[in-house]
Amino acid sequence: MESKELLSHYILESEKINLEKFERKIKIAMISSFTINGLAETLKVKCFENKIRCITFEGGYNQYNQEILDENSNLYKFSPEITFLIFDVRSIFGELFYSPYSLSEQERKNFVNKKNSEITSLIKKFRETSTSKLVISNLGMPHYSPHGIAETKTRYSFHDMIMDFNQKLKETILDFESVYIFDIFCFMIKHGETNVFNFQNYLFGDIKIAINYIPKLAHELMSFVISTLGLTKKCIVLDLDNTLWGGIVGEDGFDGIRLGPQPPGNAYVEFQKTIKALTQRGIILAINSKNNFDDAMKIIQEHPHMILKDNDFACIKINWNDKVSNMKEIANELNLGLDSFVFFDDDPVNRELVRKTIPDVTTPELPDDPSKYVEILQSLNEFSVFQITNEDLNRKKMYSQQRNRQVSEVSSTNLGEFLKTLDLHVSIKKSNSFTIPRISQLILKTNQFNLSTKRYQEDDIRKFSDDDQVLIGCAQVKDKFGDNGITGVFIVKKLNSDEWFLDTFLLSCRVMGREVEKAILNYIINEAKKNGIRKIKSQYIVTKKNKPVENFLPDCGFVQENGFWVFDLTKTFHVPEFLTTNIE
C-alpha cells in the first residue's frame, strides 16, 4: 500500500487544509454500529480535492438508534444533506454471529425479518424527520460459517440470512425517496474480507473496517457526495493509439496494431468493453486523437476486433491539432462544460498539457501497462448517479442524432431556415413521480442555460409539486431526428394575486439555440394571464458558466425594474412559428 493511501496521510492533511475558500458546500453526517474514526478527516480531504467544503458530524459510538429516534438529537440539529448509516454484520447478529444454528430454520427467518423491520422503522423515522439523503449500508458477507463446507448444504443457512437481509433491505429502500444503499457487500468483495477486517483493530478498538481501508471506504462514499452535488462527469474523451489499441496506426498499419483475442491486444478489447459498459448509464464518448483521419476511421469502422464503433461516439476529433484545442471544440460541440469530461491518453506529455491548461478536465494517470486500464477506469467514482433515468438510457442515441443535426445545420444557409426544417415539438409536462427524477437531475446538473442555478434537492421539488403556490413543470423536446427527452425545467412562485416570480428556468445544453425556451415561457405567460396576474418578475443570477442565458429575459421582453427583470402581462408575447407546443 502506498503511503499516500494510508489513513495517517489523510488525518494529517485534514489538519492542514483550508476549506473556507470553496463556494460548494456539503454537510455530511456519519452514524454507525462501530468505530469509524478517521472517516470524517478522510472525507474532508477528498472533498477538498474536489473543491468542496465539507462539514461533518459523527454520531456517538453505536448510538445510531438514539440519533435517529430522538427528534432532538444532535444528528437532526446538524441538519445534514447526506447521512451515512453504516452497519456491520457482527453488531447486527450479536451472539448469533457465532451461533446462528442455535436457532431453528424458522427462528433464523424470524430473526432476519425482525432485524429488517427494525431498520425499516429507523428509515421511516429518519425520512419523516430529516430532508437529508440517507445512505444506508447493507451487510458484508463473512467467509466464515459455523457449518464450514456444509454451509451450502444447509437450508436458510447463516450466509442465506445475510443475503436475505440484504435483499429485503434493498426492497425496502425502493419504496422510500432519497434513501440509497452503500453496497458494503461489494466493497468487501472488492478488497477482500481478510484485508478489510483486521482482528487487532477490532479487538483493540471495535474497529470493524481496518484503519487503512478507511480511505478506500471514503472513496466509495464520495460517489454519493459527487452525485448529490451534481458533479458527475458526463463524457469520456479517448485517445486512440496505445489507448484504444496497441501500437500506432500511422506506423504499424491496419494489420499491425494490437487489438484482438491474443495478449496484449485483448487488454485493449477489454478496456473498450469496459468503456462501452459505462454508456449503459448514459456516459457519452468522444475521440481526441492526433492521426490521419482516414487511417484511424478505417480501424474504427472496419477492424474486426474494434468494440467501439462510429455510432458509439458523440463527437470525433481526429486531426493534427493539439489536444487542448480539440478538447475545447468537443466541449463546444457537445455543449458541455469542460468539467464534464474525463480524458484518457497514454501519453504523459498530453496528459500534463491537458491538466495544466484545462484543469477542469479530469485526466487520470494511465500506466504503461494496458492490462491496468480497466481497473483504473473502474476505480473512478466520477461517473456516479443515484438513479438511471430514461434520458440516461437514450443519451447515446440522442447524441448520435445530434451529430446528424449538425451535418444538416451546415447544409442550411441560415439558422432560422435550419430551425424551420427541424420540425420542433415542445411538450409541457407536469412535475410528478414520472418526471421528478429527471427534473431533479437537470436542476443539479445544468450550468449554462440556467437563469438562477438554484440547486434544489429532490425533496424540495416534491414539495413544490404539491404546493399550489408554485407552478413547476418540465418540457420534452422532439424534432425530426428524434426525441431529446425532458430537457427544460421551470419553477414559478406565485407571490400574490398580482405578481408571479420566475424562480428557476433552465434548458439542457442539448436543446439550446433552438428557441424552445420561448415555447416554455409562453406557457408560463398564458398561465399567468389566465390567473389574472399583471407581472412576472425574475432575476438573472450570474455564475461562471451561465453566460448563454444572459440575454434570455431582455430578448423575451422583460425590462429592468428595481433590480428585477419584469414582464408586463398586458404585452403580447410572440412564439416563433416553427415551434409546436402541446400541454399535457
Partner 1 sequence: MSEKLYQIISKVMGIPALEINDESSQEDIESWTSFKGYVLLDELETNFNVKFSIDEAMNVKNVGDIKRHLQNHGVQIS
What is the binding site for partner 1 (CB under 8 A)? Answer: 1, 3, 6-8, 11-12, 15, 37-38, 200-201, 203-205, 207, 211-212
Peptide bond into 548 cis (omega under 30): no
**Nearest distance in Å: CB 160, partner 1:** 33
Q: Where are the beta strands (DSSP E) in 148-197?
A: 179-182
563: alpha, beta or left? (left if phi > 0; alpha if psi -120 to 50): left
- Measured CA to CA, the distance from residue 358 to residue 338 in angstroms comes to 8
Name the residue nearer to partner 1 (CB basis): 70 or 206. Answer: 206
**Nearest distance in Å: CB 332, partner 1:** 46
Name the residue nearer to partner 1 (CB basis): 31 or 334. Answer: 31
Q: Are 548 and 508 in contact (CB under 8 A)?
A: no
Give the residue from 463, 443, 439 showing the smallest Cα distance to 453: 443
Name the residue nearer to partner 1 (CB basis): 63 or 212. Answer: 212
Question: In the beta sheet, which residues pair with residue 520?
Answer: none
Name the residue nearer to partner 1 (CB basis): 38 or 473. Answer: 38
**Nearest distance in Å: CB 65, partner 1:** 23
C-alpha gyration radius of the chain: 27
Q: Are 514 and 402 in contact (CB under 8 A)?
A: no
The grid coordinates listed for 562 are 428595481
Name the residue nearer to partner 1 (CB basis): 13 or 295. Answer: 13
Name the residue nearer to partner 1 (CB basis): 207 or 225. Answer: 207
Q: Helices in 243-357 by DSSP H: which ranges? A: 249-256, 265-278, 293-302, 323-334, 348-357
Name the residue nearer to partner 1 (CB basis): 48 or 564. Answer: 48
Contacts of 183 (CB under 8 A, 6+ apart): 137, 138
**Nearest distance in Å: CB 1, partner 1:** 6
Contacts of 47 (CB under 8 A, 6+ apart): 19, 26, 53, 54, 222, 225
Name the residue nearer to partner 1 (CB basis): 198 or 371. Answer: 198
**Nearest distance in Å: CB 200, partner 1:** 6
Name the residue nearer to partner 1 (CB basis): 16 or 153. Answer: 16
**Nearest distance in Å: CB 41, partner 1:** 10
Name the residue nearer to partner 1 (CB basis): 7 or 162. Answer: 7
Q: Are 46 and 11 in contact (CB under 8 A)?
A: no
- Measured CA to CA, the distance from residue 331 to residue 335 in angstroms comes to 6
The grid coordinates listed for 212 are 487503512
**Nearest distance in Å: CB 146, partner 1:** 24
Q: Are 7 and 214 in contact (CB under 8 A)?
A: yes
Burial of 63 (0-12, 13-18, 19+ CB in 10 A): middle
**Nearest distance in Å: CB 216, partner 1:** 14
The grid coordinates listed for 236 are 469520456
Type of residue at 177: E
Name the residue nearer to partner 1 (CB basis): 3 or 106. Answer: 3
Name the residue nearer to partner 1 (CB basis): 196 or 235. Answer: 196
Name the residue nearer to partner 1 (CB basis): 40 or 259. Answer: 40
DSSP per residue, 386-438: SS--HHHHHHHHHHHHHHHHHHHHHHSSSHHHHHHHH-EEEEEEE-STTTHHH
Name the residue nearer to partner 1 (CB basis): 3 or 562. Answer: 3
DSSP per residue, 179-237: EEEE-HHHHHHHH-HHHH--HHHHHHH-B-S-GGGHHHHHHHHHHHHHHHTT----EEE
Would you mind telling me the total number of residues written for the chain in this entry? 584
Q: Which residue has the cell 437532526?
A: 76
**Nearest distance in Å: CB 243, partner 1:** 33
CA dihedral 14, 378, 485, 556 (to 10 degrees): 40
**Nearest distance in Å: CB 16, partner 1:** 9
Question: In the beta sheet, which residues pair with residue 28?
Answer: 56, 82
Contacts of 176 (CB under 8 A, 6+ apart): 123, 124, 127, 134
In this structure, the number of other CB atoms found within 10 A of the CB of residue 11 comes to 18
**Nearest distance in Å: CB 36, partner 1:** 11
Please tell me what DSSP assigns to residue 246.
B
**Nearest distance in Å: CB 194, partner 1:** 14
Instruction: Give Dmax over CA atoms of the chain in angstroms.
Output: 81
**Nearest distance in Å: CB 53, partner 1:** 22
**Nearest distance in Å: CB 63, partner 1:** 17
